[in-house]
Structure 1
C-alpha cells in the first residue's frame, strides 16, 4: 500500500543510510569479454584509436607489475597482445581491490526499488559516496585532458570497467522491503539457490557469473567473437543513448522486471537460499548476454568519441 507514513519512512531512509558494497560485477571474465568486444569493434572501425589506447595503457603505473608477464607469452600474436591488454584493463579495477587505486563506491548506484511502498525511482538513491555516474564522467574528463599518460591510463581502465558495471542490472538497484529495510545491496543480501541441490549464493553473484567463469584469454576472446555474432549492432536500437545516466536507468528497469521479477522472486536466508523458478536461468541469460554485448559496443563508441573530440 502507498500510505503517506510509508513514504516518509522511505524518504528518511534515503537520506540517512550510507554504506559501501564490496561487489564485483560482472566477474573478471565477463569484464574481459566487454574489453574484447570493444577492441574488436574499434579494430575494424577505428584502428588508429586502438593504437593510441594501447600506447597509453602501456604507461599504466602497474603495467610491469600486473600485465607485462601475461602479454609476453610467446604464443600470442601482436594483435592478441593488444586485445589482451584491453581485456586486462577492463578487469583491473576488480584486481586492485584494497589498494591505493581502489574506489569501492564507484562500481554502482543504488536507485531505490521499494515495491511494497510503490516506489521505483531514479531521481533518488541511497547515499554511498561517489557513485558510478560521477566516477564515469570524472574519468572521461581525465582521458580528454592534458594530464600525464600514466594518469590517463588509470582513468581509461575505469572507463572500461564502469562501462561494464553499469550494464549489470544489480549495479543500479537497492531493493528495500520488509526483509531488507536498509536495502539488499544490489542483490548481495538476496540469498538464492539455482536448484535444490545447489549451494546457497546471493543473487548478485549469480548474475555476475552466469556468462563465463574462466578468465583465460582464449575463452574470453572466443566468447566476445560469438557474442558479437549473436547480438549485432542493428539489433540494439538503444545504442542511440550515449550517456551513462540513460544506461543506468535501463539497468534499473531490467533489475525490476527481470532480476527481481517485478517483486515476485523470493529471497531465502544465509542458511537456505530460495530456489529460483525453473525458467529463471533460461529467461535471464539472454538478457545478461545482451547487456554484456551492449556494454562492449558502447565502450567502443565512448572511446572513439573520447579520442576523436
Structure 2
C-alpha cells in the first residue's frame, strides 16, 4: 500500500485519546503571570477590564475568593494571582459541566516511518483546540454578559498555553502506536535509569515547575520574562492560533521526539532519555511559555473591549 493509501486508512481511526494536561497547573499560572506583566506595562486599560470581567466568573466565590483574599497579598498581587487562577481553571474543573476534554489539543499526524508529518489532516478527537479558541474568542468579543465572558477568557488563557506545548499538537503513529501515542501519553520513558517510568507527555508537563502556589509561579514568570524578551521572538507577529499550533507540531517532531530517534519503552520499563535531553529541551519549554504569555497579552488587547 502506498503511503497516501495508508494515510487514508489512518485518518478513519477514531482516536482513543483521553484528555491530557498540557503544561501542569503551575506552568499555566506562569503563562497567566507573564500576560499580566505585559498588560500592566503595555495596556493597563485592558488589564483593568480583564480583571473586572474575571471577578464576575461563576466560580469566583467558590474557587478563588479565599486564595485572593489572603492578607499577605497586595492588590497588585491579587490581580496577578487572578490571572494565574484563570489560566489553570480549565484543568481545575475537569469532569464538571464546563469541561471540554477535546478542546485542549489537536492531533496532527506524525508518522515518520511512513514519511508523513501533516498539518492538513489529523486524528479525529471531536472539537479541537483551534475550534475551541475561535469559539471562546467570539464570546469575549460579543455582547455576552461578563459572567459568560469570564468563562471564555479562562479558556483563552488556558488554550494559549496548551497550544504552545508541543505534545498537544502531535500524534505519533508507528508500529508501536498504530492508533497514535496520545501526545506522548503512551510513550514511556525514564529521566534516569534509577527513576520511575513515566510518560513523555508528563515529563514535558512538569519540566519547568512543580510547586502549585502563587510565589513559585510568580518567581518563575519573572525569571522567564527576563530571560526571553519580546525582541528574541520574531514569530510574535502572528496572531493566528493555527500557525501557533504548526510551530508546536514542528517542535514536537524535532525536539520532543527528536526526529523519530527517541525510543519508547513499555509500561513496565520506560526507555531512558538521552543524557542531554533535559538540558536541550528545557530552554525550548521556557521559550514556549514566554511566547504563550506574550501572545495571550496581545490577544487580550485585541479581544477585550475597554
For residues 266 and 71 of structure 1, the distance between their equivalents in structure 2, rounded to whole angstroms, comes to: 44
2:206 corresponds, among 177, 202, 209, to: 209
**Structure 1 residue ranges without an equivalent (≥5):** none
TM value normalised by structure 1: 0.97
The answer to whether the 8 Å contact 1:20/1:104 transfers is no
1:16 corresponds, among 13, 17, 20, to: 13
**How does 1:1-309 map onto structure 2 within 5 Å?**
4=2, 6-307=3-304
Deviation of 1:308 after TM superposition, in Å, equals 5.2
List per-residue Cα deviations over 1:189-227 (Å, max 9, x = no partner).
000000000000000000000000001101101111111
Deviation of 1:19 after TM superposition, in Å, equals 3.2
SS of equivalent residue, structure 1 residue 147: coil
SS of equivalent residue, structure 1 residue 154: helix
For residues 277 and 16 of structure 1, the distance between their equivalents in structure 2, rounded to whole angstroms, comes to: 32
The answer to whether the 8 Å contact 1:110/1:186 transfers is yes
The answer to whether the 8 Å contact 1:191/1:269 transfers is yes
Deviation of 1:16 after TM superposition, in Å, equals 2.9
What is the root-mean-square deviation of aligned Cα atoms in Å? 1.0
For residues 88 and 220 of structure 1, the distance between their equivalents in structure 2, rounded to whole angstroms, comes to: 11
For residues 162 and 216 of structure 2, the distance between their equivalents in structure 1, rounded to whole angstroms, comes to: 20
The answer to whether the 8 Å contact 1:7/1:117 transfers is no
TM value normalised by structure 2: 0.98
For residues 236 and 193 of structure 1, the distance between their equivalents in structure 2, rounded to whole angstroms, comes to: 32
SS of equivalent residue, structure 2 residue 119: strand
Q: Which runs of 4+ in 1 moved over 4 A?
A: none
